[in-house]
Amino acid sequence: MEFRSLAELYVLPFTIIFFASIELRLGSIYMENRSPPKAKLMNSIPQERYRLLSANASQPKEGDIVGLDQGFTSSEGEPMVLVYFTDASGSVLYEAEVYESELSS
């Protein structure tokens, strides 16, 4: 690349950095405002696989709409997901480890 002036030599890198920083900021704003994917519980979850996180929480039951978090493999080799159940204000009421087969989209 040949530069015709010193201005081109200095302006080009700053322009690239400027637009890259805007893209990073927009990406982080998008990620902050994006809600997690959701699924419906198809059956209740055994007590050993959930934890109540609020005094207002009840045990997971069929029909609860949960937010999906991290996927992992059970000790038996089955696919599982860590899920969260929130109330209308966004407070997390419980978390549970569920088999993928216990969820419906």
* pLDDT digits 0-9 by tens, 69-98: 999 999 999 999 999 999 988 899 999 999
- The confidence score (pLDDT) of residue 7 equals 54
Range of the domain at 95: 38-104
pLDDT confidence of 105, banded at 50, 70, 90? confident
**What is the per-residue pLDDT for 90?**
87
60: domain CATH number is 2.30.30
State the Cα–Cα distance between residues 42 and 23, nearest whole angstrom.
40
The closest of 61, 46, 50 to 97, measured between CA atoms, is: 50
Mean pLDDT of the chain: 81
pLDDT at site 2: 61
Q: Note whether 49 and 99 are same-domain residues.
A: yes
How far from 80 is each of 11, 24, 37, 48, 58, CA to CA, in Å? Answer: 51, 32, 15, 14, 21
Mean pLDDT of 98-102: 96
Identify whether residues 45 and 82 lie together within a single domain: yes
Answer yes or no: is pLDDT of 19 > 60. no
What pLDDT is stored for residue 75 in this prediction?
Answer: 93
C-alpha distances (whole Å) from 3 to each of 7, 10, 12, 16, 18 are: 9, 10, 10, 16, 20
